[in-house]
Structure 1
């Protein structure tokens, strides 16, 4: 899907203030309410905009430890293993990857001891053959889309 400058401005606005309504977006962008609604509908239908979830600070919830696990799995077991990982609450995301590892797993824990429990839970998943875990010490660049949206503005 190709986005234009107005799409980018709308997405930037909602990135900064996700609770804005359609009417306020139209006022700030200087376009009709119907235009904003049509753009939102197009972005949702095209899968560009996937929802308006709240931003949650996991550390503030008590999950101050973030780790990444490279997971090697038995051949043909990716779907089953991914579903089992989905059932572990501390697993935040799973990506199928190329290279030696088959899956990259981002997980959180409350402490080192809790991390060991989560790792043990993952290793117990049938089809998981090997797990290599790295603890994140900091997040110098958090997840972001702003630079890509700003690029839509053009020169």
Structure 2
């Protein structure tokens, strides 16, 4: 991974819709050279896709919570299926420690959150934390660009 690829990735992180010509100006390469580097990064699996960032509050989902789930021993398969089926789940991570899963939910009301948490009780004990703000939101550690 050379510095040019790092700069390309940094620019794509900030604006995935940036043109090859604009990227080329940033890294001092031609647009076709940038396109080829991006194609190679995609082929190697370094770039696995492009996504859209949205403001959940603006979309009508003002409540975002993290839920630690201690899944009951024989219920993990059912729990995972429930997470996939639950439309308010936007992330679900299998993590180390006593609380084996960390789930991120976005909901429209506290009543909706309460109902969802109640549905988790068939599979796990839960501990819920409300997200008040997100002062840091990075996809790649800052040290990658140094």
Matches within 5 A, 1:5-154: 5-75=3-73, 77-124=75-122, 128-145=123-140, 147-151=142-146
Q: Distance in 1 between matches of 2:15 and 2:136?
A: 20
TM-score normalised to the size of structure 1? 0.81
RMSD value, Cα: 2.0
Query: Cα deviations across residues 75-109 of structure 1 (Å, max 9, x unaligned)?
Result: 36545422320221111101111111111101111
Q: Distance in 2 between matches of 1:74 and 1:5?
A: 47
TM-score normalised to the size of structure 2? 0.86
What stretches of structure 2 of length at least 5 have no aligned partner? none
SS of equivalent residue, structure 1 residue 142 = coil
Residue 49 of structure 1 and its aligned partner are, at CA, apart by 1.5
Q: Is the 8 A contact 1:12 1:149 kept in 2?
A: no
Higher relative contact order (CA 8 A, sep 6+): 1
